[in-house]
Amino acid sequence: MTARGDETVDELQHRFRHGALELAEEAARRAPRRAGWEPSDLDFIATTTCTGRLTPSVDAHRVERLTCRPAVQRVHVGDTGWANGES
């Protein structure tokens, strides 16, 4: 995601939220399907982000939307923005 000079912080956050959730849902549906599974078959979901933040996090949004089983375990490793020090 590229910053825009004419964009407010709120607009940037809205754009991040929309893009992150759309991409996460696409991946979360495609990966199990390729394995012959349904979202209800998943035992564990891991998500990560590096620059934006969501509350609740990406995994919480996807568990509900994908209709995963209530006992699915999840973890979000996020907010690591450029943690490796490279640009």
Asked whether residue 69 is domain-assigned, the answer is yes
Please choose, from the candidates 17, 83, 23, the residue with its C-alpha nearest in 3D space to the C-alpha of residue 54: 17
Determine the average pLDDT of the residues in 53-78.
82
Asked whether residue 82 is domain-assigned, the answer is no
Per residue in 70-83, pLDDT (tens digit) is 888 988 887 666 55
pTM score, whole prediction: 0.70
Torsion 28-34-37-43 (CA) sign: negative
Q: pLDDT-derived band of residue 85, with 50, 70 and 90 as boundaries?
A: low
Asked whether residue 1 is domain-assigned, the answer is no
Asked whether residue 87 is domain-assigned, the answer is no
CA separation for the pair 55, 32 (Å, rounded): 25
> Per the structure, how many domains does the chain have?
1
Determine the average pLDDT of the residues in 48-64.
80
CA separation for the pair 15, 10 (Å, rounded): 9
64 or 22, which is more confident?
A: 22
16 or 81, which is more confident?
A: 16
Residue 52 pLDDT > 60: yes
Asked whether residue 37 is domain-assigned, the answer is yes
Asked whether residue 63 is domain-assigned, the answer is yes
Looking at residue 25, its pLDDT comes to: 86
CA separation for the pair 17, 12 (Å, rounded): 9
Can you give the residue range of the structural domain that contains 70?
A: 9-77
Residue 34 pLDDT > 90: yes
Asked whether residue 4 is domain-assigned, the answer is no
Asked whether residue 66 is domain-assigned, the answer is yes
Distances (CA, A) of 47 to 8, 19, 66: 26, 14, 14
